[in-house]
Amino acid sequence: MTAANLLEFDLDALAAFCEQLGEKRFRATQLFRWIHQKGARDFAQMSDLAKSLREKLAGRATIQPLAVLSEHVSADGTVKWLFDVGGGNAVETVFIPEDDRGTLCISSQAGCAVGCRFCSTGHQGFSRNLSTGEIVAQLWHAEHQLRGRLGTTERVISNVVMMGMGEPLQNYAALLPALRVMLDDHGYGLSRRRVTVSTSGVVPMIDRLREDCPVALAVSLHAPTDALRDDLVPLNRKYPIAELLEACQRYLEAAPRDFITFEYCMLDGVNDSEAQARELLRLVGERGPVGRVPCKINLIPFNPFPASGLTRSSSARVQAFAKLLVDGGLVTTVRRTRGDDIDAACGQLAGEVQDRTNARSRMQRAPIAIQPIDSVVQRRTGAAPSGSATETTR
């Protein structure tokens, strides 16, 4: 019989496993604490477990972490691990230390099939989904290694963001129990407000997450119109912006926060004009397709890589874009780039992927054709072009 990797189980699944061994649920709770709170791998160390249970576990179970292929530490303290997940695939995980929090960015897939133009992971292609145990193992390793380095038994990681390699909601069956391990008071005890799932917009699974395990939600928006988002985020062709915003409205009914975070990667000459900022204001405002969407806009300076054919918006352009949003009443932040000297910044995670999707040739597309926002707005609403004497400033 193959030994079960206990990192694959949330508490309910671990309790069911213990019942198969003839043990009560409280034994599963003890075992869960040893694994996740204390970082134990050796059943013999678990002193409050009955010797008979430890002997059963030694023959039927294991706690199997991921092999670390490399570790890099940035000048700003950011740490990036490359984990071997077998079959020639490796995924990356990033820890970002800040004064008031420690954030871990976790991968959910070996590669990504969405194929966003500005994302290094997407250009690597897609191999497979990670298992629950492979997702949890990233947190298990980072938390307990960092504790050891700092010489503390206190929790080091206060926030988890599912923003690493992959589209989490396309690996929902493995994601859901992993989230439950993170949130469980007998596991890592993280707040729902401090666990964030980032999605490119898989509408049906946003609704599933709302019902099953609502945590903070970040949506990769990156464009204020369907025409542009179709090119930047190909999933938009299946779930266009209006459908996505409707799903966000529904999600807010159960969300632990009263807003959705919209991620917006700033691309020079592509999505960073003043007219596009005004269209973004309209999109999530009262006059938008679904009415006002309570949100925060997170502007992300693009981290260039050669295959993208894209460049980063200037700092002045980013700040001007942000000012227009703030003046229009939107809470707006500009993400500070961390770990770019070790390729650990947003959009840079690539790992090693045995691509099954032919991504390299698939993503060698013609340059993005930018249709002026003004003409789109004028054709849709009959309004005068922006900058004309009849324009109304919000």
Q: What are the pLDDT digits (tens) for 83-125?
A: 999 999 999 999 999 999 999 999 999 999 998 988 887 788 8
Q: For residues 362-387, b (16+ Cβ closer than 10 Å) or e, as one string?
A: ebeeeebeeeebbebbeeeeeeeebe
pLDDT of 361:
62
- Helical residues (DSSP H) of the chain, grouped into ranges: 11-20, 25-36, 51-60, 120-124, 132-150, 172-183, 203-212, 226-232, 241-252, 274-284, 315-327, 359-362, 373-381
Q: Does 199 score more than 90 pLDDT?
A: yes
pLDDT of 348:
47
pLDDT of 281:
97
- The tally of CA atoms less than 13 A away on the side-chain side of residue 180 is 20
Q: Does 245 score more than 70 pLDDT?
A: yes
Q: Which residue from 93, 95, 96, 97 is spatially nearest to 83, judged by alpha carbons? A: 93
- Binning pLDDT at 50, 70 and 90, where does residue 305 land? confident
Q: Which residue from 270, 276, 259 is spatially nearest to 302, judged by alpha carbons? A: 270
Tokens of 131: 């298992």
Mean pLDDT of 281-307: 93
Angle between helix 172-183 and 11-20 (nearest 10): 90
pTM of the model: 0.89
Is the backbone of residue 99 left (phi > 0), alpha (psi -120 to 50) or beta? alpha
Mean pLDDT of 72-84: 92
Q: Which residue from 74, 107, 139, 64 is spatially nearest to 349, judged by alpha carbons? A: 107
310 vs 336, higher pLDDT: 310
d(CA 92, CA 94): 7
Mean pLDDT of 257-285: 97
- Binning pLDDT at 50, 70 and 90, where does residue 382 land? very low
- Mean pLDDT check: name the lowest of 1-5, 152-156, 303-307: 303-307
Q: Does 33 score more than 70 pLDDT?
A: yes
Q: Does 304 score more than 90 pLDDT?
A: no
Pairing type for strands 260-266 and 216-220 reads parallel
d(CA 168, CA 164): 9
- Mean pLDDT check: name the lowest of 42-51, 164-173, 270-279, 303-312: 303-312
Show Cβ contacts of residue 219 under 8 Å, excluding neighbours closer than 6 positions: 198, 199, 200, 201, 244, 248, 260, 261, 262, 263
d(CA 277, CA 288): 14
- Binning pLDDT at 50, 70 and 90, where does residue 380 land? very low
- Binning pLDDT at 50, 70 and 90, where does residue 2 land? confident
Domains in the chain: ranges and CATH: 4-62 (1.10.150.530), 67-364 (3.20.20.70)
Q: Does 242 score more than 80 pLDDT?
A: yes
Q: What angle do CA 61, 65, 69 make, to 5 degrees?
A: 150
Q: Which residue from 77, 80, 102, 100 is spatially nearest to 90, judged by alpha carbons? A: 80
Mean pLDDT of 150-172: 96
Catalytic residue set = 92, 346
d(CA 37, CA 329): 42
Number of other CB atoms surrounding residue 270 within 10 Å? 23
Pairing type for strands 126-129 and 4-5 reads unpaired
- Binning pLDDT at 50, 70 and 90, where does residue 389 land? very low
- The tally of CA atoms less than 13 A away on the side-chain side of residue 134 is 25
The amino acid occupying position 302 is F
Q: What angle do CA 288, 291, 293 make, to 5 degrees?
A: 100
Percentage of the chain modeled with pLDDT above 90: 77
pLDDT of 35:
98
Mean pLDDT of 215-235: 97
